[in-house]
């Protein structure tokens, strides 16, 4: 099962909508054990964000400890696939199936690359979760805690997220913006529209607060990050009547922010604006990840050099896109992300080019050879 295409097919065929458990981990474990990896699987957490299955595989000892991180869970497939989302099918030069690029193909490519290296080349680990597409509360964070218990300390980590844009190898991620979602509820007093003096309409106060928030310019960006942005996601009143002033109005905001900010500070700033317009309001924020940056250095040079050697492409170093579990792993060691083309991830008929699967395995192999040289 070290053939990259066959392993990708087997992983796709194991349905694993987040949070993934069971059969998809069986497939990966069966591929790793013959290669000399000691595999540990464990389930962490309770409802509502758990339970979550995770896998930690380690081979070798001494020298540089290089880790590959990824996730076996996938987003729900939705309706309208040409073939079954979990029935891998090759049509032409493409392999179709949910998870083909995000990110079962990359995991298969790394296993194929590891199979080509001697077991005693150095310390190699795989940090694989079943919950990256979901809350991610008991996924990679639990794996990091388990590694700490075992005294495992990777020195370099590569995450196999689909980072390529137009062709394989044209972009790697050296950081990501942070993410926070903020829920706002402005309370008023319900009443008849003909007697507004007996009611308290919360909508004007919410609108004024949102207008001020919309005018905020958080920053102009930086050397490695685009400007931070505040985006309203929804405004809800839920009022079916035509003659009733509502008792509450709600809104939700999302902020994607660069390394000039911390999530808690942004939540506090929004809360201050809202409470100025509506003192009797409720503002609740959740930080899904802080911004982080792995400064260009040894790791990005290793990965870039391997891409250039195998693909003839000089990758762009970027921090664009959404969040990933690299936001947790960067607390352990330097992290970069590199994987397949992201054009079809989360879409109907997600697909990967067979040639790209083979080429990605070649690049990963070259990375490992340079690490352990």
Residue with tokens 């020298």: 63
Q: Which among 131, 132, 325, 350 is annotated as catalytic?
A: 132
Alpha-carbon distances, residue 73 vs 1, 12, 61, 101, 132 (angstroms): 20, 10, 29, 12, 7
The verdict on whether 73 is a catalytic residue reads yes
How big, in percent rounded to 5, are the helix, strand and coil portions of the chain?
A: 30, 25, 40
Q: Identify the burial level of 64 via C-beta atoms within 10 angstroms of its C-beta, where 0-12 means exposed, 13-18 middle and 19 or more buried.
A: middle
Q: Which among 73, 350, 356, 362 is annotated as catalytic?
A: 73
Cβ distance 311 to 340 under 8 Å? no
Helical axes 354-371 vs 105-115, angle rounded to 10°: 50
Cβ distance 257 to 180 under 8 Å? yes
Question: What does the alpha-carbon distance between residue 33 and residue 274 come to, in Å, rounded to a whole number?
Answer: 55
Question: What does the alpha-carbon distance between residue 362 and residue 366 come to, in Å, rounded to a whole number?
Answer: 6
The verdict on whether 46 is a catalytic residue reads no
* Best CA proximity match to 94, nearest among 344, 339, 352: 352
Active site amino acids: 73, 132
């Amino acid at each position: 099962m070290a053939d990259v295409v066959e392993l990708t097919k087997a992983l796709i065929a194991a349905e694993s909508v987040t949070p993934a458990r069971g059969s998809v981990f069986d497939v990966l474990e069966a591929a790793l054990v013959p290669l000399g990896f000691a595999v540990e699987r464990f389930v962490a957490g309770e409802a509502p964000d758990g339970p979550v299955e995770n896998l930690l595989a380690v081979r070798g000892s001494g020298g540089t400890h290089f880790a590959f991180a990824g996730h076996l869970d996938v987003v729900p497939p939705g309706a309208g696939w040409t073939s079954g989302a979990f029935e891998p099918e090759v049509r032409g030069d493409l392999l179709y199936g949910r998870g083909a690029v995000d990110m079962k193909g990359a995991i298969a490519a790394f296993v194929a690359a590891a199979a080509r290296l001697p077991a005693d080349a150095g310390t190699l680990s795989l940090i694989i979760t079943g919950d990256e597409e979901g809350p991610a509360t008991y996924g990679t964070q639990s794996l990091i805690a388990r590694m700490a218990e075992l005294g495992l300390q990777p020195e370099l980590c590569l995450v196999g997220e689909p980072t390529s844009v137009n062709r394989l190898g044209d972009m790697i991620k050296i950081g990501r913006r942070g993410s926070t979602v903020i829920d706002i509820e402005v309370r008023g007093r319900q009443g008849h529209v003909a007697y507004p003096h007996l009611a308290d309409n919360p909508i004007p106060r919410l609108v004024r607060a949102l207008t001020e928030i919309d005018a905020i310019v958080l920053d102009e960006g930086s050397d490695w990050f685009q400007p931070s942005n505040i985006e309203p996601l929804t405004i809800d009143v839920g009022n079916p009547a035509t003659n009733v002033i509502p008792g509450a109005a709600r809104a939700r905001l999302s902020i994607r922010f660069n390394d000039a900010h911390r999530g808690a500070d942004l939540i506090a700033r929004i809360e201050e604006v809202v409470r100025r317009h509506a003192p009797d309001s409720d503002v609740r924020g959740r930080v899904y990840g802080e911004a982080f940056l792995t400064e260009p250095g040894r790791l990005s040079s290793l990965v870039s050099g391997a891409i250039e050697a195998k693909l003839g492409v000089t990758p762009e170093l970027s921090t664009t896109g959404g969040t990933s579990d690299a936001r947790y792993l960067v607390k352990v060691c330097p992290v970069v992300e590199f994987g397949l083309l992201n054009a079809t991830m989360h879409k109907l008929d997600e697909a990967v080019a067979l040639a790209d699967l083979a080429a990605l395995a070649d690049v990963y192999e070259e990375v490992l050879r340079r690490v352990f040289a």
